Chains A and B, each alone.
Chain A
Amino acid sequence: MTGLDHEALSAIVTELTAAISTVDDLAGLDEVVARATAKDGPLGSLKRSLGGIADLESRKSAGRAINDALAQVTAAADARRVTLAAAARTEQLEADRLDLTEVVIEDVRVPVVRGHEHLVSQTRASLEEVFVAMGFTVTEGPEVETDWYNFEALNLPPGHPARDMYDTMYLEIGEPETVLMRTHTSPMQIHLLEAAVEADALPVHAAMAGRCYRLDTPDARHLPVFHQIEGLVIDRGITFADLAGVIETFTSAYFGPDIHSRLRPAYFPFTEPSAEFEITCTICRGDGCRTCSRTGWIELGGCGMVDPAVFEAVGIDPTEWSGFAFGFGIDRCAQMRHQIPDMRLLIENDLRFNRQF
């Protein structure tokens, strides 16, 4: 044998592509493709016969021709597959058609199973309930913020070293690093105070909860997406003593009468004096255990008197009005109350977990 029978090859290709273009279901197409690629199929037999070609160059070029032919057939099959799949889907969708305007609702039956609110929702709702009972108005705000609301107006000007405490997620919107995912609920303080000044509607007694974001690698105690609740009281004659009293009232109301609070000095640029507030360890009830490092206390959140710089940013006279703010993690509250070993359980949405609450 001296060379490839090109006529035979092109006849095979014509036959196979014709078969592909006429086949009208996916199963039929698979059959054609199987025939085209089979070792003992027409192309396979031709390929086997190449051994008879003596000249190396001719043998190589014949091999290439057969491979090209196979590629041509495969491409045709792939194109046909797309068409057939689309047709099959259209047919399936049409067969499936259901006119929702004609549904007889009374005929629909659902299983008698009780659903469960998410533990974080439940926790947030009970916290909000406590604050409403204490005279707070509940409100909320956006999750995407600007540098002004999240930092600058809160006495954290650009370059402020304390910005490092907030591992901020920035968005590619506007100038670099101006639009961000709020790192805390405190920007709501600015929104509320700006609105109150605008409407001449001081005093403010508000609680605001919502989702916050930080670049924290998830672990047993941290999630990059988490929830905070924040309180803000701006009124005449408000003092640090009122802050301590409100924290204590809230602690006992939410965690129970034998759980108390204490404040210790801390630093937040938007409050002065600032404090960290701790509550009686909910595990050992104050006796000292591993969870509380044997101190009997566990840290819950931050608080303090609203800093004069914040009043200045929103245009409130700090000699007429004073106030305090506090904030803490809702997820952390839920974790403590229910002794959840790993915070990540909250976002796994495993019904075996969610249905416990």
Chain B
Amino acid sequence: MRTPLSWLKDFAPFPDDAGLLRATLDDLGLVVEEIEVVGEGLSDVVIARIDEITAIEGADRVRRVVVEAGGGPLEIVCGATNFELGDLVPLAPVGAVLPGGFEIAKRKMRGVTSNGMLCSGRELGLGDDHAGLLILTHTAAAPGERLIDVLRLEPDVIFDVTVEGNRPDAWCISGIARDLAARLNLPFSFPSLSSMPLRGSETAERASLEVVDTQLSPRFSVAVVDGVEVGDSPSWVVERLEKAGMRSINNVVDASNYVMLELGQPNHPYDLAKVQGPGLRVRRAAPGESLTTLDGVERSLGVAGRSVGDTGTDVVICDAANEILGIAGILGGATSEIDASTTTILFEAATFDPITVTRTSRRLALRTEAAARFSKGTDPAVLEAAIDRFGQILALSAPSATMAPSPLFVPEAPPTPLEVVAPIDRINAILGTSFEVSEVAGLLGRIGFECAVDGDKLTVTVPTNRPDIRAGEPGVADLAEEVARTWGYSRLPRRTPTWSQPGRPGARQAERARLRRVLCGLGATEAWTSSLVAPDQARSVGFDEEEIVVANPLTEGESRLRRSLLPGLLDAAGRNLDRRADDVALFEIGATFVHPSSLPGRASRAGARGSGEVTMPAESERLSLVLARDGDDATSALAAFSAIADALRLSRVIVATQDEATSPALAGLHPSRSGVLVDKQTGAVVGVVGEIDPEVVTHVAPGARDRRLGWLDLDLDVLWDPGAVLRRPLEAAPISRYPSADLDLAFVVPDPISVESLLDAISEGAGDLLESVRLFDVYRGAGVDDGARSLAVRCRLVALDRTLDDAQLAEVRARMVGSAEALGCRLR
């Protein structure tokens, strides 16, 4: 909200120190986003009369002008052309410093000396017009007079204040002034002009008022003003409105806006002659009714929208014949507008249910100034003052206007203010302070909360302009905030609390950190791709299931939740390859989402419209790795997994043989170079490893299509489930102090027998003496039967208590070979 300091000064004698005021406003929670200084640096600018205009030879953009500015003819070079002989314009003489720090100096152009500068409105910081010089219409002004005297300009500061949603009381000049005065300990009072004279018959005889639903419009008032001449507002009113960011329309609309800005009460002047009855009727819109609003759009009313809890309740203002004039608290219709011929005004000031206004304005996408204010709640007790102030301001420009006595109010009296009982202990317990009861009463009193003190207990009367203060215990918290604000947050005590429970990272944080370390150690860099993806992205990598659709996406390309990390990571790898990055290896740890129709997630309390439960999408946290370095392929992905398995102490996770591989898990992967990772003991599927399907690569990352892209994807929810994936015991295994011996064995192994089962058979045969066994060569071809391959393994044998001799080694060898042969393998 744009807040001129000059306007604030109507309410309290504020100092001119803009820095102090800004800091104070900030500390009150009335955050100043920007400060604008106007009228500064204009004290040297004088009025000049154009006496002579001549062309300069050889110059077509500038002319020579001679002006009279009180000190005899002055020659000036000027580029503007919008003036004539005799016009009065502002002159910045040599030596003047304009707003923004520009100093005027004597200059010579094409042989003509320029003794100053004739200025546009923009150059003086007096508006946006820079098309030409500011031409003054104040004919009484004499050359040489100071511009600030003629325009009665006073330097002013405009604070652009952001008012929080719970402070509707501060969303007006008087509200900001009240808070500021309280903090600075300055006397606060409302300014007053002469009220408009009351004449003629009672308001009740001039217009009717019926409020059908007082829940939706808790207080409503109308006044009638006669003898109005629609015309211009006084210049200071125009100036204030403009500083506050509003345009001047005519004296009636200006007075209405002035009241809204000053008191925070939106209001509406109707042309009484155009209102049937005349009178107003406030009611709920019937379903299907409609109104063409001032913006020319036909609005359909009374029908519930999509938004949670919207019942389609709209409040409308009708005339006495029940025809809709406007949508209450949001926007009027065109039929009863003020125009040049208006002489009698029906002035409306009312309050409306904030939630109803919020819903209607949201559903109709009509976010007007009035709607924004009513959404946050307005003061039902300010209506009398609003009517009076409207009369005061309008009377300045319509001296013969009068108001009908006894404006109508429904209900007659404002609501009884809320009382909150606040024991001083509670306030101190919330704030950590040790205020005396009288201190609190004093702080609250300064911002209009009357406090009755009874021992340690305060009974606080909440002003009606503070709808944010609640009853009961929540109200005590609300009052504590007011105490803190008025005292100053920065002056409150600080204490560092302690408790006996130790801090600790969650189990997942520790595991994730371990995974990240392993992957970074393997040369992979972490990526962050969006969880929001394009339609059919999941399908393009093989997930043929229902997608999770965002009902209101930013763009179509971000309208689904990701099902897999593959497309995002592949795209990121492709872009890096396109930029000729070396050693592209990327990983990501993040959530993927499955539609409940495919995999029902947890049941969760729905809230709002659904008081029951709703089945949520399953959220699966995954780790994916794409390897796109020279030489990478499925084996590098497998090696990466092997490192992870070691770091996480996985007991026995193996690549399932191809025929065991379930196809859905391998969606998007190379069909003959990928496999499923399975816990050997529990059968749980941990993830997949292999290469990305070349077709998918061509489609998603064409720049990478000539490479094999290694791929690893782990389901972390499974990986971290101790029942699904077994870990090696934490106990240290003993290490032998005796020399070990290696035995290399090569077997012809029929294809159906897996490497794993051969290694298992050998281990079983060797018993305790086997330290390790690993595959080191695979051979197919000459010398080996069709349908079989030669597998060479290295067995390292050692005993804990002795050096194995040849006889013992031979015996172990025989047992290992025997065991392998029993499986169906033949020693080569």
Contact = CB atoms under 8 A, between A and B. Distances in A.
Interface of A: 89, 92-94, 96-118, 120-121, 125, 128, 131-140, 142-149, 151-153, 157-162, 164-165, 169-179, 181, 203, 205, 211, 213, 215, 217, 224-225, 233, 235, 237-242, 244-246, 248-249, 262-267, 269, 272-276, 293, 295, 305, 307-309, 318-319, 322, 346-347, 349-352, 354-355
B503 A171 contact: no
Interface in B546-567: 548-554, 558, 561
B363 to A, nearest CB: 11
11 contacts: A107-B635, A117-B526, A133-B503, A136-B503, A144-B601, A174-B606, A175-B609, A178-B606, A235-B499, A241-B495, A273-B480
B406 to A, nearest CB: 34
A179 B614 contact: yes
Given A117-B516, A146-B614, A349-B575, A159 B310 contact: yes
Contact of A272 (B474, B494, B552, B616): B474
Interface of B: 26-29, 31, 34, 164-167, 306-310, 354-355, 358-359, 362, 375-376, 429-433, 473-474, 476-478, 480-481, 484-485, 489-490, 492-499, 501-506, 508-509, 513, 516, 519-532, 548-554, 558, 561, 572, 575-576, 579, 581, 583-587, 589-591, 593, 595-596, 601-602, 604-610, 614-617, 619, 629, 631, 633-636, 638-640, 642, 654-655, 657-658, 670-675, 689-690, 694-695, 754-756, 774-778, 789, 791
Contacts of B590: 211
B634 A98 contact: yes
Contacts of B508: 140
Nearest to B661: A100
Given A215-B554, A241-B493, A147 B606 contact: yes
B477 A135 contact: no
B516 A308 contact: no
B53 to A, nearest CB: 44
A263 B344 CA distance: 51
Given A211-B531, A239-B432, A349-B572, A164 B362 contact: yes
Contacts of B576: 349-351
B527 A173 contact: no
Given A159-B309, A267-B165, A352-B581, A116 B526 contact: yes
A101 B430 contact: no
A161 B367 CA distance: 12
A100 B674 contact: yes
A244 B489 CA distance: 9
A98 B655 CA distance: 12
A273 B477 CA distance: 6
Given A121-B526, A349-B572, A108 B636 contact: yes
A133 B640 CA distance: 33
B523 A112 contact: yes
Nearest to B168: A161
Contacts of A140: 506, 508
Given A143-B591, A148-B605, 18 more contacts: A100-B675, A103-B638, A111-B629, A115-B523, A120-B528, A138-B504, A146-B606, A161-B375, A225-B531, A237-B429, A244-B492, A249-B496, A272-B481, A349-B572, A349-B576, A351-B581, A352-B581, A354-B527
Contacts of B532: 213, 224-225
Contacts of A203: 499, 501
Nearest to A236: B499
Nearest to B641: A105
Contact of B530 (A104, A225, A275): A225
A266 B433 CA distance: 20
Contacts of A97: 672-673
B430 A273 contact: yes
Contact of A169 (B27, B433, B497, B550): B550
A-B residue pairs, 6 tightest by C-beta: A148-B607, A265-B29, A241-B432, A239-B432, A158-B309, A273-B481
A252 to B, nearest CB: 11
Contacts of A112: 523
Among A105, A144, A275, chain B packs the most CB atoms within 10 A around the CB of A144
A110 B639 contact: yes
A60 to B, nearest CB: 43
Among A131, A237, A266, A346, chain B packs the most CB atoms within 10 A around the CB of A266
B543 to A, nearest CB: 17
A181 B559 CA distance: 12
B473 A318 contact: yes
Given A144-B617, A354-B527, A266 B596 contact: no
A100 B634 contact: yes
B676 to A, nearest CB: 10
Given A100-B634, A115-B523, A349-B575, A147 B551 contact: no
A322 B635 CA distance: 56
Contact of A177 (B308, B375, B583): B308
B492 A105 contact: no
Contacts of B550: 169-172, 181
B558 A100 contact: no
A118 B672 contact: no
Nearest to A310: B474
Contacts of A350: 575-576, 579
B21 to A, nearest CB: 13
Contacts of B530: 225, 347
Contacts of B690: 100
A273 B431 CA distance: 9
Contacts of A131: 503
Nearest to A150: B607
Contacts of A242: 432, 495-497
A166 to B, nearest CB: 12
A307 to B, nearest CB: 7
B376 A161 contact: yes
Contacts of A274: 481
A332 to B, nearest CB: 15
Contact of B498 (A99, A135, A158, A173): A135
A107 B309 CA distance: 64
Given A159-B358, A308-B477, A351-B584, A100 B689 contact: yes
B606 A148 contact: yes
B687 to A, nearest CB: 13
A159 B494 contact: no
A348 B664 CA distance: 30
A97 B661 CA distance: 14
Contacts of A233: 497
A239 B431 contact: yes
Given A138-B509, A171-B548, A115 B430 contact: no
Contact of B474 (A101, A240, A307): A307
B309 A240 contact: no
Given A102-B778, A241-B495, A121 B581 contact: no
Contacts of A128: 505, 509
A143 B619 contact: yes
B700 to A, nearest CB: 14
A7 B673 CA distance: 52
A114 B489 contact: no
Contacts of A100: 634-635, 638, 655, 673-675, 689-690
A245 B593 CA distance: 39
A241 B551 CA distance: 43
Contacts of A136: 503
Given A115-B585, A273-B477, A171 B549 contact: yes
Nearest to A238: B497
B495 A179 contact: no
Contacts of B671: 93
B429 A153 contact: no
B212 to A, nearest CB: 21
A269 to B, nearest CB: 8
A114 B526 CA distance: 11
A349 B586 contact: yes
Contacts of A110: 522-523, 629, 636, 639-640
Given A111-B629, A158-B608, A144 B616 contact: yes
